[in-house]
Amino acid sequence: MPSYIIRLLSLSPRREKPMSDALPKALGKSEGVLTQAALVNSEKVTGIPAASPGPSMPAPEPEKKVLKLKEKVPNESEKDVVGAITAKIVRGTPEFDTLVENTNEDIVFKDEEGTGADKMMSKRMDEKMNELAKLVKDEWPGKKLRVTECWDENGEHNDYSTHYEGRGADLTVSDKDGKKLGRLGQLAVDAGFDWVFYEDNVHIHVAVKRDEDE
């Protein structure tokens, strides 16, 4: 036999006898003994076989998905996902005419400016907003989606904000309950917003790509 084969043979791992043969038998035996003893004991005390099933418990509902504070979906910069703004849209320009007014009765608009600006948004934003309004109604019957800011014509955001193109919006539930924001963020993801950011304790920020980039 060539020497390299001998070397190979001597290197091959030795087979160990698996433990799996002996162990379960030992365990099974002692478990069986324990169970029987417990059964006998319990029957003596109560007169009811210990193996009788208790009242059936309903299976716990699976936990609902929520976003964590400061979480972004997807976890990239807003600009990388939805594109930087070209310019601030100004009322009375052709760009303003591309915005649509959201008239969904299932959405509450804060409209703190009193100008209806928060109802103005890009077409894609309008679509996703209406979708989310449905999800919110199903999730919390009697509550509505609330928009605290959408299109901004007053320069209240940073210079590059998607709010200026009606492609960014700030959202809560109509009861303004901060504890619902994590779930609202996930519903916004489910509704199809391109970028969702659990920005702070008082709102979720969402953004969409420009209509021509969809």
Chain positions contacting Zn ion, by CB under 5 A = 170, 205
Q: Which of 168, 172, 156 is nearest to 204 (CA)?
A: 172
**Min separation Cβ 200 and Zn ion, Å:** 10
CB closest to Zn ion, residue no: 205
**Min separation Cβ 150 and Zn ion, Å:** 9
| Residue 63 to residue 190: CA distance in whole angstroms | 16
Judge whether 164 and 89 are in contact, CB under 8 Å: yes
- Between the alpha carbon of residue 62 and those of residues 4, 26, 138, the distances in Å are 59, 38, 17
Q: Which is nearer to Zn ion, 46 or 115 (CB)?
A: 115
**Min separation Cβ 168 and Zn ion, Å:** 5
- Region for residue 108 given its phi and psi (left: phi exceeds 0; alpha: psi -120 to 50; beta: otherwise): beta
Q: Which of 107, 104, 145, 131 is nearest to 191 (CA)?
A: 131
**Min separation Cβ 84 and Zn ion, Å:** 15
Q: Which is nearer to Zn ion, 140 or 193 (CB)?
A: 193
**Min separation Cβ 170 and Zn ion, Å:** 4
Q: Which is nearer to Zn ion, 127 or 149 (CB)?
A: 149
CB burial of residue 172 (10 Å; 0-12, 13-18, 19+): buried
Q: Which is nearer to Zn ion, 138 or 159 (CB)?
A: 159
| Residue 98 to residue 132: CA distance in whole angstroms | 22
Give the residue carrying structure tokens 């160990």: 16
Q: Which is nearer to Zn ion, 140 or 151 (CB)?
A: 151
